[in-house]
Structure 1
């Protein structure tokens, strides 16, 4: 195993009560490869299990059968999926749970760390499932909800024995005027250190980091969609690995409603100090910032300010674009991508890719969206 050093940095604890927000909106996580390397997109549904199977082969001389175990492609490349399932989850323990949004923020977001004793070998970009305690209205155990992992593979404590999540407490008023609380998000945000938590997974292969240490990685996130990007960035800038050293460019665009909801801001600013030439950071605070035309500052609005530079990066073979957050961000991102391509006469190509992105997101991550939001 490679020797690893890390800089530990956890968000400050902030107290607060539940804050009512809007009704839940669907979210998405996806990775986009530019036209030249689009064919490298991995296929298959990362949420579904790929179990090892056996086949029997008859020996010609003696009539005996031999079981030949097939090698899972997911194990060949070292990515473990579905080690723990809902019927036999891993029981971890809450080590830390702290609020990371300001007291005046429109909603609460919490950062939590669970012990795994090294039993959940996840990668940056994967997710885990959480099964909340208790039973539903039908008297059955609650179903699992999936959450993007917010820590690098070695965890916040650099011992490969923890996993971290970034969770927003879901509380909203429905059409009947009733206050609705998300089952799993409230269970997680209310956890006290020492409490047990049932974990499944890890799952997912679509959001894994590229292996190329010289790649350009553009990350587009909104709200708690920052989780997988925090895991990427910790590996890039807070850790030292014998077999990996990031020498490329990481560019993070983070969209939030208010400055009090800028998650992990101090960590990201430290990364800029550590690697100013390799890490760029741009916030889009929609309720507080506007562009030159007086329009609200969303991610696509901020990206438009760098459109020429972004387009040059997108034309490189080793540029990767990741999106994670509210599903509504896709339309704005599509528009800015097509706008960027227009001057080079490649609108049709980008339009087709845009349609492909929507299809792939729907196909590959349908279970993810259902588990995390419709069941929350």
Structure 2
């Protein structure tokens, strides 16, 4: 039959090249009808894969027509060309129309090959082959076989609306998913993150080492060069403050420093010595106290040759506090007075440095203006 198909194709091509338009249509129709049984046999090779045989025959016939229209006798056997064209059309149909989930083409093709190899090796060994045996048979990496096996589940995925159970009163989707318990903790986590920034740098570091680094109290003590008893006391105090702050509308007083640091209390003292005016600030400079700091610094600039801001008792400066210090720098520039920020704690110094005030930081204010 295959030889007859090749002979008929050569004869068809010879007549088609010398025929007129009307005769060409008739020749083409007769040759397509002659080849239809061949297309049907090609389609039946792929039956049993979830597609109706009638649909596969339609796809095979489409591939046959493409093969006839593109056939060139100078390039070889028509039968071989038709087999390749029809097979490609059927595989394209499986790839584009039958997969329930989009899977890359290479994985789809390999999934089909894995299916054929599985059936073959199961018949030979009377057991299901392993991924390594499939990889060796197909001469591909084992990881590629595993990917193909996993992606095969996307060919015909189960519907979430499918009935579940014998009675069919529930759907499959009803059995999946649950309330996310972590969702309720989002607000608490955000609140704790803000409160941690109000703790001194040492306490923040200790909490990070304990609860994020999973270090023991002994390891933290060795890292900070203090006793384990001291570590235990500091952690208890920090956790107690966080717990109280979480349950209160107003920040509690932090007992870890000599100065009040409840977020709203602030002490500002001014001293003058030989044209150098020193403003000592005790407490946090945040949105609740920044206005008072701004006013005090502007008043201190008036008539001063040099202004020194002592931040040694300031455990925290937020964006509003930075703005107040920037305003003081601008006021000093207008009054042609020098400005130094002295004694900033490491965390505060880091914030000021990132805010562009690094040039004003000094451990001991030098003479003259900056």
Does the TM-score normalized on the shorter chain lie above 0.5? no
Greater Cα radius of gyration, structure 1 or 2: 2
* Higher strand fraction (1 or 2): 1
What TM-score, normalized by structure 2, do the two folds share? 0.24
What TM-score, normalized by structure 1, do the two folds share? 0.24
State the structure with bigger RCO (CA 8 A, min sep 6), 1 or 2. Answer: 1
